[in-house]
Chain A
Amino acid sequence: MAWIVLVFAGFAEVGGVISLKMAEGFKKIKPMFSAFLFGCASFYMLSIAMKTLPVGSAYAVWTGIGTAGSVLVGMAFFNENRDIKRIVLISCIVIAAVGLKITG
């Protein structure tokens, strides 16, 4: 159950990022509102998942889904760069962020 909540927390994170992009620096009200809702939902679900799951794994799955989701949505809907270098570098960031959480 906690894992399912965690996956949805990751999805909410992607929703939040898309909303923030569409808010264009807080110029549009509706996307701002949805960004706020997605953000709250994401953190709330993450906190629930972290009650039972190890913090390191929960964080890894959460950021992993957030990052991979953002990259895929960016490529599919915002015509973003599909360069392999970019994917490798982004993966390095995820590995480093998760590594820091686990060793921290």
Chain B
Amino acid sequence: MAGLLERHQAITRGGRKMAWLYLVLAGITEVVWVIGLKYSEGFTRPLISILTILMIIVNFWLFSKSLKTVPIGTAYAVFTGLGAAGTAVIGMIFMGESAGFLKVFFILLMIGAIIGLKLTDKEEEPQSDSSR
């Protein structure tokens, strides 16, 4: 029985790691489609428009997958946060936007908070486990 329980916990832990991977990928695809949306010029360029829409679908699929195990409050914050930070970073690197002190500070604050959330995101102990 104990072996079975450990096995179950290992699977849950693995699932949680995967869920965080899905969440980070969702944040990255979000940045990709926001840029795609900009370059589709109001959906007048067919190839970029199709790729953008595909990316939006993949984005929400990844987010939905991550929501199975990551708490929704955490997942939503990380998802929007990665989107905002990613867009700012791309803007600074590729679009010549200024890299002011405050901007860099907010990006670092964001990354720190996300890592902190990942580290404090422990699986809830189910009731039955504690009575073992």
Q: Which of B60, B105, B117 has the most CB of A within 10 A?
A: B60
Count of residues in A whose CB is under 8 Å from the partner chain: 39
Interface assignment of A37: CB less than 8 Å from any CB of chain B: no
Decide if B103 touches A100 in the complex (CB within 8 Å).
Answer: yes
- Tell me the interface secondary structure of chain A in the complex: helix
A95 to chain B, nearest CB (A): 7
A25-B116 contact, Cβ under 8 Å, with A17-B67, A67-B76: no
Q: Which residues of B contact A71 (CB under 8 A)?
A: 72-73, 77
B75 to chain A, nearest CB (A): 8
Decide if B106 touches A103 in the complex (CB within 8 Å).
Answer: yes
Interface assignment of A96: CB less than 8 Å from any CB of chain B: yes
Residues of B at the A interface (CB closer than 8 Å) are 60-61, 63-65, 67-68, 71-78, 80-81, 84-85, 87-88, 91, 97, 100, 102-103, 105-107, 109-110, 112-114, 116-117, 120-122, 124
Residues of A at the B interface (CB closer than 8 Å) are 17-18, 20-21, 23-26, 35, 39, 63, 66-67, 70-75, 78-81, 83, 85-86, 89-90, 92-97, 99-101, 103-104
Q: Can you add 18 more A-B contacts, CB < 8 Å, to A93-B114, A104-B91?
A: A17-B67, A67-B77, A70-B75, A80-B74, A81-B122, A89-B116, A90-B117, A92-B110, A92-B113, A93-B110, A95-B109, A96-B84, A96-B107, A97-B81, A99-B102, A100-B103, A104-B87, A104-B103
